[in-house]
Amino acid sequence: MVKANLVKENLTGDKIGVFFGTLAPMHIGHQAEIYKAAALNDGVVVITSGYTGDRGDQIGLPVEKRFRYLREAFNDEESIKVDYINEDDIPQMPNGWQEWTDRLTSTIKRNITNPEAHITLYTGEADYKEMLEKLLPNDGHWSVSLMDRTILKVSATAVRKNPLANWDYINRVFRRHFAKKILVVGAPQTGKSTLTRRLARTSNSPFSVEFSRTYQEESNVFDSELLLKDYSRIIQGQYDANSAEINSPANNGLTFFDTDAMVTMAETRSWLDQEDAAKLQFLFDNTIGEEELDLILVIPPEVAVSNGADDADSKRFDENLWQVIQEYGFADKAVSLDRKGGSDDPAGYYARYLQALEIIEERVGVNLTKV
């Protein structure tokens, strides 16, 4: 059973290890050293450090976000405590060594109970070791250990440069930040659920299913019967379903979603009373604002019509969908799957599947035809 640790107790013991760094992101090399420190000490303080505009912040991982990811990554480790240093108000390196070291020592001390504990800092940089040995308190309680980086040949720089090529090295919690998110959308009866499933399985990637379909089947309600409260649940349910695939251990760098909140918004504009639809605006804004999509594959309404759907309804939905995509700033991510099939593929399902693979390679940089 995992112990609740929203406020984790300070570390006890006579020997405390400290692992620090940018950790943008944390990878298995970092983990190996942290667990080494944990084995050799009574507890470990893991500290991520950084400032606005640092190499983590430049890829959307500011120091506060790294701190939260690290705390989640070690939430079941009672002997590992996580903290962070925001360097915005001190001189940047190499000019801020004394200020940074002072902040480091105070950060360590607020996470331990024994003021007489011996503290060992672990670093992979020889010049860091030299500077810290000069600046740390000269009271016999401090030492610095140089890590052997040749054991695990992986670097955060390589991960940031090409996350998918280094996917196996990234800590599982941090993977969600680098996952490529591909959304498949279209009017009802366009075959989007089938396409989502087949694209995902082509790359052995996780995929979400359309939550509204599950919700309506369980509630036994038709599209025309959906009320404001139903749409509210569908918005949150689909977001949770998509998030679950991003956080899934099966996430291999690609995740596929069968619809999202933008699709639901297009549906409300098509079929829900305008006054009721306006009441959902705040929820739509918050939910869609959290989505960081890399690619949107849009199946044209003609496909739905060829499958027996109403022409006017399908086109109205498609117009609303493109309008929503534009309004929320995703137009540059959206591509229409408009390829026609040959005589052996009159419905164009295989043609759109191949087109989708080509677009994924072009836009995301992953060639699924060679997987």
pLDDT of 271: 84
pLDDT of 6: 55
Q: Using one digit for the tens of pLDDT, what is the confidence trace for 99-112? A: 999 999 999 999 99
Q: What residue ranges define each of the domains in the chain, with the CATH number in brackets?
A: 15-160 (3.40.50.620), 179-360 (3.40.50.300)
Spatial separation of the C-alpha atoms in residues 118 and 140, rounded to whole Å: 8
* Mean pLDDT, all residues of the chain: 92
The 10 Å Cβ neighbour count of residue 254 is: 26
Q: Using one digit for the tens of pLDDT, what is the confidence trace for 51-84? A: 999 999 999 999 999 999 999 999 999 999 999 9
Mean pLDDT on 132-152: 87
Q: Using one digit for the tens of pLDDT, what is the confidence trace for 158-167? A: 999 999 999 9
Mean pLDDT on 253-263: 96
Spatial separation of the C-alpha atoms in residues 129 and 358, rounded to whole Å: 49
Prediction pTM value: 0.87
Q: Is the pLDDT of residue 371 over 50?
A: no
